């Protein structure tokens, strides 16, 4: 009986570590995304990097698996954040007259 409880406790600790790690990664990505959005809005990013990032967001903005991997159970928030970043990149591409 004690081995069973130790196993359950170990799994609970492991699950808590995974949830904590996913939360940390999600917050880091959120901060990074907000910084990138500010840089794009202030035109501090070169055209070729803007095109690369736009194409990357265009490819992965609707990926539920990637959002779940990065944000865990808050994957819907991650998908909204990706869509927001994609919209900012798209507006900047249009403003600079770059090909979409």
Structural domains counted in the chain: 1
Provide the pLDDT for residue 13.
Answer: 93
Provide the pLDDT for residue 14.
Answer: 93
Which value, to the nearest 10 degrees, does the dihedral of the CA atoms of residues 7, 68, 41, 39 take? 40
Assigned domain for 8 exists: no
Provide the pLDDT for residue 1.
Answer: 66
**Helix (H, G, I), strand (E, B), or coil: what is residue 72?**
helix
Q: Which domain holds residue 60?
A: 23-95
E strand or H helix that includes residue 20: helix 2-41
Does the CA dihedral 92-85-46-100 come out positive or negative? negative
Assigned domain for 5 exists: no
Tens of each residue's pLDDT in the chain, 100 residues? 678 888 899 999 998 898 888 778 778 878 888 888 888 778 788 888 888 888 888 888 888 888 877 777 778 888 888 888 888 888 888 888 888 7
Assigned domain for 63 exists: yes
- DSSP conformational letter for 73: G
């Amino acid at each position: 009986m004690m081995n069973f409880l130790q196993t359950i406790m170990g799994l609970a600790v492991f699950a808590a570590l995974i949830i904590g790690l996913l939360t940390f990664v999600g917050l880091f990505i959120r901060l990074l995304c907000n910084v990138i959005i500010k840089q794009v809005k202030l035109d501090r990013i070169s055209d070729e990097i803007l095109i690369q990032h736009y194409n990357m967001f265009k490819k992965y903005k609707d990926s539920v698996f990637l959002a779940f991997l990065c944000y865990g159970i808050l994957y819907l928030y991650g998908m909204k954040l990706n869509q927001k970043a994609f919209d900012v990149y798209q507006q900047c591409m249009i403003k600079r007259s770059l090909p979409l």
